[in-house]
Structure 1
Amino acid sequence: MFALTQHSDRIILSDDAQQYQAEIFPFGALLNRFAIKKPDQNWHNVIAAFQSPEDARANITQLFRSAKLSPFVCRLANAQYEFSGRHYQTHKHKIGDSAIHGLIYDAEFTVQHTHADAQHASLTLSHTYQHDISGYPFDYQINITYTLREHGALHLHTEVHNIGDQTLPIADGWHPYFAVDGNMANWQLHIRSHEQLEFSPALLPTGKRIADATFSQATPIAQTELDNCFVLTEDFSAPAVVLQGEHIQLRITPDAAYPYVQVYTPPQRDCIALENLSSAPDAFNNHIGLIELAAGEKCSFNTLYQLEYL
């Protein structure tokens, strides 16, 4: 049997063979642990984790580790946008001139559903945003379901429901940092992409694409510095990203609702952010991938993280 253990500040999913574990905080619906048991029986957590939910609350805005990106992803130029003929400005959190990483990365989620049986363990967390923050006067409910299945497969399902009475702009994404085993310079990175979005110096899309096949086959990260948005090819049956360490391999396989992957190497170079995105950064302004969700409508996004010890 798979197992689900619920504590006041975290929920742990485990497989029936006790080879994989996922730990999720209701704070931010953060994935804080996705671990594989090595042959020596020690665990390796591939998530760059917080020490505790309290640590996450205090430090979420430092690197936005594991943050849910909603209702916009990455940067919002000048923290403002126009929608349906009206001008909006938000003041939630800025880096330089841009608002960054959405509005609910520090929201408290509630447990809506739990389940464990012989095939999987799953958890659904929910948050209702009701025009809480200046610059986004819309109402929506977001449900996030984590499901741990056999062979180290962790499925992340996000559903957004417009519960207001007007159309709203929405984009969705994740901001996890991963660390497989061995030296990061030797990690092999493969991205199912042949081009990326051109960025301005402010890391905002210019509207152009650049041919880039650097990681179209497995390539050592070495000393490469990345803060780039890759456009995925259309074969969503294949992994979008494969990250290979000394022995541990991570595969990320989104559905077509996530056609972009933002890749970021932080200065400490001990992990790498691999971010499924439904839109380009600054989509509220450039409209690249922006969803306009009518009152009462729902949309969903799926991605799969899979671990293997080779």
Structure 2
Amino acid sequence: MPLVPTSSVVEAAREARIGAAAFNIIHLETAEALVTAAERTGAPLILQISENCIRYHGGLLPLTRAALALAEGSTARIAVHLDHLTDAELVRQGIAAGVGSVMVDASALPYEENVATTAELTAWCHERGAYVEAELGEVGGKDGVHAPGVRTKPDEALAFVRATRVDALAVAVGSSHAMHERTAVLDKDLIAALRSTLPVPLVLHGSSGVPDDELRRAIAAGMTKINISTHLVSVFTGSIRRTLEAHPSLVDSRKYVKPAREAVAEEAARLLGVLTTPATVADRLAARASAQG
């Protein structure tokens, strides 16, 4: 199937009030597992490659080309997205390689510089038909705006979107990067307020720390793109640990990576079900009542 634009996955999810699943890959095996999950469930999926992952592989092209090849060869609707790019050159390389969307991450810069950098790169990407996500400040786990108690203000978010013309915005509503326990409680009132204020889809970073029911409530309140990385990495690593503990003499990495790949495929398929099942009427009414106080 031809590569699917990220914009079509996100906009369709926003209209249907379901989640657009965006799962990070760290190597070929996790990419294969996630594509398998999408094929098993029939749900669309955004494969994400972070700047940290690009650095790990020594450059953008090796894993990016592999992800694009998997997407194009899959029977599922797969998009490929570059996540948390702080280097403008990587943005340009990614678009040239065929990636349809990027997250421009200038969040560590002072606000005015963030706006200027994001606006410039967004204009460049739009000229080439690419979709752009951004955020106002750093995400938790990086001593940033998603640290406990910090929240995105709707009026500031609207000003940022208007100034930069980005297509989607990552917002701070109570999640944090790199959480190993799924205990986060999100601010559903704020999500609803942001949804009603902003003309672009909302993106939840740090979703690994958010339990299933809380993710459903967040989507019902107005969240759209749901990024998950650490949780699936933990599933992969946990499987490898169990296999090697049970079979300490194994030396062929395929013998322990294969079950880990399957474990990720199973959990990713389960999460796709959580994110893409429409919220019940009760969920929506509860979210609306909460937003109205």
Q: TM-score, normalised by structure 2?
A: 0.30
More helix by percentage: 2
How high is the TM-score relative to the length of structure 1?
0.29
